[in-house]
Amino acid sequence: MPPSIREAPAVQPLNEFNQALLAQVHPIDWVNPEPASLYDLVVIGAGTAGLVVAAGAAGLKLGLKIALIEKSLMGGDCLTLGCVPSKCVIQSSRVAATMRDAAPFGIHPPASVNIDFAAVMQRMRRIRAEISHHDSAKEFSSQGIDVFLGKAAFLDRQTVDVNGSHLRFKKAVITTGARASHPNIPGLSDAGFLTNETVFSLTDRPARLAVIGGGPIGCELAQAFHRLGSDVTLLHKNGHLLDREDPDAASLVQQRFLQEGLNLLLDCTLERVEKTDVGKVIHYQQQGKANTIVVDEILVGAGRSPNVEGLNLGAVGVKYDSQHGVEVNDYLQTTNPRIFAAGDICMQWKFTHAADAAARLVIKNALFAPLGLGRSKLSSLVMPWVTYTDPEIAHVGLYEAEAQAKGLDTETIHIPFSDVDRALTDGETDGFAKILLRRGSDQILGATIVARHAGEFISEVTLAMVTKKGLKAIAQVIHPYPTQAEAIKKAADAYYRQAFLNPTTQFLLKLVAKFS
């Protein structure tokens, strides 16, 4: 396909780092290959799920013919609009917060922390460009995958069109992901707003920033921009931030936000937005009273919409809707048994690692499960996730309310980080490890950890759950001292102490000790 037929996606600002990014993940001079006569697998969408499906299948070295199609940037949201850029900005904001909070450590902080916002964003773009070669068109082409840059649409039950080229397939996988959605607030579009898809294009710091939505994305970016010097107001429709999380964890993060000086408007109904000479005016209702705030920018962090448009899914019998995306069964198979889907396009878990895990199931179920034998289920996955506020909230398994709704009899072990020596030495005692057990056993049903680096040690609990090990097994693991992960060992020790207090156990132990 001649390069002139395809335009490069817009990436702003078009500086050296973003040009380097484009050269990797959507090179303007890329010439699509001549299609093979028949593909074993055609993958539509080169975000995390699509990349893992294509690379995983090709990496088996079985001579499978694979095509990978991307209309925008290879790497998807994770590389360009999500995980990578957001964590770069969050880390810069953490450094600024650490400098301001140095006094308790015997370090005299500067009178003011001078933040070069443009340099913060430049660092993010540099790192993003440095990472991008892993997801590049050349890299995947070098693995024997036919990489097509352009818009894909199904023509019939065995053909996909890409800019006029026809790709015939035995199996296909839809991995087109999702995009930021925004509430239908009168005047919002006319006033202009940011999402995670545009906020990382900023070069100037917004002096006054409104963040709409108190979920993970809204909370992460609200705290980061506040720490980087913006006057941030976070507006949320419910009475508590992060209301899908463990209540104790959400409460701790909310209190941290208030301590840091974020302006929280909860139980807030947005009525309209207007653009004026003094800024963008947000009209809202709170506790029956009308009020306004004036800001320079509005960041919407309120949900995702699946990318189902333009695929011509009806031509291949794939059911979908604009809210939930493509319909799949527990094997990630669509209503067309020859077409699968994975990632944000079809799953409630909208995480990079969830897309990765689902893609691995698709490889097995689509290519190595003849007559459906040996297939793996999406519901069998044990899925952890992390909200990257400071402190972080990491969770896996059931929440207590979910367990109760299932009729499970549970008990909870709660270890505050004020009891963890390393948390004390680090000055990071605002947090806890909470382990949910089936009552009368050491079986772990779920866990929530709140700590500055909670995401770094939730995997120990996840591993125990996946391998069907309980707290007894964790108690046998020697944890280096001092580490904050010792909180998990303390939870295991607490379980043992409770078990030993059982009268029968006490009697038996006394008897054994008497004859030892």
Q: What is the pLDDT of residue 302?
A: 80
Q: Which tens digits make up the pLDDT trace of 205-216?
A: 999 999 999 999
- 499, 508 contact by CB (below 8 A): no
As a CATH number, domain 188-302 is 3.50.50.60
Residue type, position 374, single letter: G
Percent of the chain residues topping a pLDDT of 70: 96
Q: Which tens digits make up the pLDDT trace of 12-42?
A: 999 999 999 999 999 999 999 999 999 999 9
Mean pLDDT of 35-62: 98
Confirm or deny that 220 is annotated as ligand binding: yes
Q: What is the pLDDT of residue 5?
A: 47
Q: Which tens digits make up the pLDDT trace of 129-185?
A: 999 999 999 999 999 999 999 999 999 999 999 999 999 999 999 999 999 988 899
Q: What pLDDT band is residue 501 in, cutting at 50, 70 and 90?
A: low
Position 6 pLDDT exceeds 80: no
Domains 188-302 and 391-504 equal at CATH topology level: no
Confirm or deny that 87 is annotated as ligand binding: yes
Which overall architecture, per CATH, does domain 391-504 show? 2-Layer Sandwich (3.30)
Position 1 pLDDT exceeds 50: no
What is the rounded CA–CA span in Å between residue 281 and residue 273? 6
Using alpha carbons only, what angle is made at residue 457 by residues 482 and 175, rounded to the nearest 5 degrees?
A: 160
Q: What pLDDT band is residue 98 in, cutting at 50, 70 and 90?
A: very high
**134 vs 9, which has greater pLDDT?**
134
Q: Where are the domains of the chain?
A: 11-82+124-180+305-380, 188-302, 391-504
- Mean predicted lDDT score pLDDT of the chain: 94
Mean pLDDT of 506-516: 71
Using alpha carbons only, what angle is made at residue 285 by residues 281 and 290, rounded to the nearest 5 degrees?
A: 75
Q: What pLDDT band is residue 410 in, cutting at 50, 70 and 90?
A: very high
Confirm or deny that 314 is annotated as ligand binding: no
Confirm or deny that 106 is annotated as ligand binding: no
Q: What is the pLDDT of residue 8?
A: 61
Q: What is the pLDDT of residue 500?
A: 64
What is the rounded CA–CA span in Å between residue 338 and residue 46? 19
Question: How far is residue 425 from each of residues 191, 278, 510, measured CA to CA in Å?
Answer: 48, 47, 38
Q: What is the pLDDT of residue 4?
A: 36
Q: Which tens digits make up the pLDDT trace of 430-474?
A: 999 999 999 999 999 999 999 999 999 999 999 999 999 999 999
Q: What is the pLDDT of residue 2?
A: 43
Q: What is the pLDDT of residue 250?
A: 98
Percent of the chain residues topping a pLDDT of 90: 90
In sequence order, the β-bridge partners of residue 284 are: 270, 291
Which CATH number is correct for 11-82+124-180+305-380, 3.50.50.60, 1.10.150.120, 2.115.10.20, 3.40.50.2000? 3.50.50.60
Confirm or deny that 470 is annotated as ligand binding: no
Position 123 pLDDT exceeds 80: yes
Confirm or deny that 490 is annotated as ligand binding: no
What is the rounded CA–CA span in Å between residue 227 and residue 220? 11
Dihedral sign, Cα of residue 116, residue 118, residue 124, residue 127? negative
Confirm or deny that 261 is annotated as ligand binding: no
The answer for residues whose C-beta is within 8 angstroms of residue 11's C-beta and 6 or more apart is: 18, 21, 22, 73, 80, 201
Confirm or deny that 7 is annotated as ligand binding: no
